[in-house]
A and B are shown apart, each in its own frame.
Chain A
Amino acid sequence: MSEDGLDPVIHTPARLRVMVTLAALPEGDDLSFTRLQDIIGLTPGNLITHLRKLADAGYVRMVKTAEGTTVSLTRDGRAALQRYTVTLRSLLDAAGQTPP
């Protein structure tokens, strides 16, 4: 955890966007790497770097198939994002800032 209690694996702009985008899918669904890239707007190299960090933490699952690579959020990842959101809200509340 970082000083402010936010998970450092998630607490970067790109990885936060990846996590939030994957969390928008129902549990049990996955997203193709290319579609995720389209939505997030990262280059393939950038995206794979961030996905590997998330996969190393057990937050995302990458599966290579004949059609390409698919990415999905794991249960741990969903729980980590939930914790991140709660922590973020409490930090904003403590600072007297209104969340967007």
Chain B
Amino acid sequence: MGETAGTSSGPGTDGPGINHRTGTDDGPGMDPLSAADIMQQAQEHAKSELTVNRPLLLGGAGLFYLLAYGTVWLAVRAQQPYQGPPGWTLGVLTGLVLIVVLMLAAVLNRAVSGVGGQSRRRRRIAFLSVAAGLVAVWAIEGGLYAAGASIGTVDLIGASGPLLVAGLVIAAAAPAWKQWSGLGLGIWLIAVAVGSAFAAPATVWGIDALAGCAGFLFAAAIVSRPARS
């Protein structure tokens, strides 16, 4: 159903003169045009209430990668030899992670509040997978460090590992969510993570910052396009 049929409705009304806050009976009869109008209003309202703002979510993730990885890259790009991110970058990254978590909670909360069933199970699986993947990346870093690997090798895993985890989870979840742009984004992130592994340790951060951000922003642009009718 397309645009509204020129009827006005205020708060608590059901469209053309129908107040749905009153009466428990079947209410006044509807002509087909009024019914179509109510359907269209209800569809738009439900969509605005129950749909996750994916462009905002993806755009936020892109900016996070740019700021977080970009900050580290700026801090390490002049290091000769490579010594790893200085301590102050840990504070910046922690702050950015907190901001992203709060943003994620704010964006998701409105759309998913009260929604249960398969979608909730899939969300939990996705979050658990990302968390398990990140813990695994940090564990591997620890293992490499303990085995005497150079800081450059350890940081290569530290930089590209989270991107690889995010890419794998996004790509794996895309078919279940029927979000094919997610499959493209996931594969792109995996390719960036693998490709950047061949760069110099300091450059890895820069490549991941720019290419990771570009992938997320491109996906945000794709999903924000109006659907073809």
Contact = CB atoms under 8 A, between A and B. Distances in A.
Given A16-B35, A16-B42, A20-B43, 13 more contacts: A16-B30, A16-B38, A28-B117, A29-B118, A29-B120, A30-B115, A46-B20, A46-B23, A70-B116, A88-B36, A88-B39, A92-B33, A99-B40
Contact of A45 (B24, B37, B46): B24
A40 interface: yes
Interface residues of B, number: 42
A13 B119 contact: no
Given A32-B114, A35-B114, A100-B36, A46 B42 contact: no
Interface in A27-56: 28-32, 34-36, 38-43, 45-46, 49-50
A11 B118 contact: no
Contacts of B28: 13
Given A13-B38, A31-B116, A32-B114, A100 B24 contact: no
Interface in B1-47: 1-5, 11-12, 14-15, 18, 20-21, 23-24, 26-28, 30, 32-33, 35-40, 42-43, 45-47
B3 A29 contact: no
Contacts of B46: 20-21, 23-24, 39
Contacts of A95: 32
A46 to B, nearest CB: 5
B42 A100 contact: no
B32 A4 contact: yes
A28 B42 contact: no
Contacts of B20: 13-14, 17, 40-42, 46
Nearest to B20: A14
Nearest to A92: B32
B27 A99 contact: no
Interface in B82-124: 113-120
B190 to A, nearest CB: 26
A92 B34 CA distance: 11
Interface string B71-82: 000000000000
A80 to B, nearest CB: 13
A24 B37 contact: no
Contacts of A21: 42, 45-46, 50
Interface in A61-100: 70, 72, 85, 88, 91-92, 95, 97-100
Given A36-B114, A88-B39, A13 B14 contact: yes
A13 B23 CA distance: 12
A30 B120 CA distance: 10
A53 to B, nearest CB: 8
B32 A29 contact: no
B11 to A, nearest CB: 8
A95 to B, nearest CB: 7
Contacts of A42: 20-21
Contact of A12 (B1, B30, B50): B30
Nearest to A26: B119
Nearest 7 CB-CB pairs, A to B?
A35-B114, A24-B46, A28-B118, A32-B114, A29-B117, A20-B42, A100-B5
